[in-house]
Amino acid sequence: MSPRPIIIDCDPGQDDAVALFLAMSSPDELELIGITAVAGNVPLRLTERNARVMCDVADRRDIPVFAGAEKPLIREAISAEYIHGETGIDGMDIFDPETPLQSQHAVAYLLDTLGAAAPSSITLVPTGPLTNIAAAIVADPQIIESIDEIVLMGGAMREGGNRTPSAEFNILADPHAADIVFSCGRPLTVMGLDVSHKVLSTPERVGRIGDLGNAVAEATAGMLSFFHRYDTEKYDSPGTPLHDPCTVAYLLRPELFKLKLCNIAIETESELTMGHTAVDFWHVTERPHNANWAFDIDADGFYKLLTERLARF
């Protein structure tokens, strides 16, 4: 069976970086045809640079990397240096990457690639604010037909918000973009805080990754050791949630997850609840079931998969 073509749209971010590594570790199952960067955790000039750093670390300088939106569709940009550090990937030795930045804008790349692709042939894996994806859909709604599935990290239901009481960062950062993506009509699988808060990068788990003894594992262990300091204090937990790799893990081993098809709507009006994902888990409305909401995960199975795959580098 040929590998599944995917595009990862990201804002590295330590957890985005691990999602990139997990995808790169599995070329027999996933063909990472392109990486598009978006402003999010840190500004675009850093998220695109960080994505290229990961290509170098994984010795995958062949993967084209594109820079996209510097700010959300309508709102002012927010960022998360207080979690990720000023570089966005604090915790690893950072360098100027050899992997080149493509001259084409990420949205133009998405339009060209999806525009030329067969129906339902490419899976999009957004792990940051949804600005690039939404901008492409608005520019040419026909590209939707080429999207096989969108597997994104964002939102929250039982866990509540992590940036406001009501909203998770990726959705809050660009709620208007999220509304466009959640309304696009293609199969949508949503990895929110309700699953990512169950995959905590405890010292034991990070230690096993650090013991693998290759450059990717070393970078991963260093980044996770930095990344967890804020969340462990905030949540009084033994490790930080490993948000973004849940998307790629789902593509590789969907049986690790429990999901429910339901309606998810995005708050784009109220400042109090801006970016809230209203997950109709109990089907109490007549709203269309537009998303597969992940609500449970086999955490040990997730870390077994991650550790085994990082050992391949």
What HEC string does 178-196 produce? HHHHHCCCCCEEEECHHHH
Binding range to ligand RIB, per CB under 6 A, among 69-77, 97-105, 161-169, 209-217? 161-169
SS3 264: strand
In the chain, the N- to C-terminal Cα span, in Å, equals 22
242-261 footprint of Ca ion as x/- string (CB under 5 A):
--x-----------------
Residue 41 near residue 11 (C-beta atoms within 8 A): yes
Q: Which of residues 218-237 bind Ca ion (CB under 5 A)?
A: none
State which residue, 13 or 97, has the beta carbon closest to Ca ion.
Answer: 13
- Does residue 169 interact with ligand RIB by CB under 6 A? yes
Binds Ca ion (CB under 5 A): choice among 47, 87, 99, 127: 127
DSSP SS3 for 176: helix
Q: Is 239 in the site for ligand RIB (CB under 6 A)?
A: no
Q: How far is the CB of 124 from ligand RIB (least distance, A)?
A: 15
Positions 115 through 134 that interact with ligand RIB (CB under 6 A): 127-128
For residue 301, whether the previous peptide bond is cis, meaning omega lies within 30 degrees of 0, is: no
Closer to ligand RIB by Cβ: residue 123 or 162: 162
* Nearest alpha-carbon partner for 296 in 125, 162, 158: 158
Q: How far is the CB of 263 from Ca ion (least distance, A)?
A: 24
For residue 162, the partner it binds in ligand RIB, Ca ion, none, with Cβ less than 5 to 8 A by kind, is ligand RIB
Q: Which stretch binds ligand RIB (CB under 6 A): 11-19, 132-140, 229-237, 273-281?
A: 11-19
Instruction: Based on the residue annotation, tell me whether 197 is a catalytic residue of this protein.
Output: no
* Minimum separation from the CB atom of position 286 to ligand RIB (A): 30
Number of residues in contact with Ca ion under rule CB under 5 A:
6
* DSSP result, 118-131: PTT-EEEEE-S-SH
> What are the b/e assignments for 103-118, b being 16+ CB within 10 Å?
ebbbbbbbbebbeebe
**Contact mark string toward Ca ion, 5..44, x via CB under 5 A:** ------x-x--x----------------------------
Task: Choose, from 243, 276, 283, 289, the residue flagged as catalytic.
Answer: 243
**Which tokens hold the place of 105?**
């804008």
Give which of Ca ion, ligand RIB, none residue 36 binds (C-beta under 5 to 8 Å, depending on kind): none
Q: Which is nearer to ligand RIB, 41 or 189 (CB)?
A: 41
C-beta separation of 35 from 7 below 8 A: yes
Number of helical H runs and strand E runs in the chain: 12, 11
218 binds ligand RIB, rule: CB under 6 A: no
Q: What angle do CA 106, 110, 114 make, to 5 degrees?
A: 170
**Contact (CB, 8 A) for 166 and 74:** no
CB of 19 to ligand RIB, least distance (A): 8
Number of other CB atoms surrounding residue 195 within 10 Å: 27
Q: Are 27 and 3 in contact (CB under 8 A)?
A: yes
What residues act catalytically? 243
> Interface residues with Ca ion (CB under 5 A)?
11, 13, 16, 127-128, 244
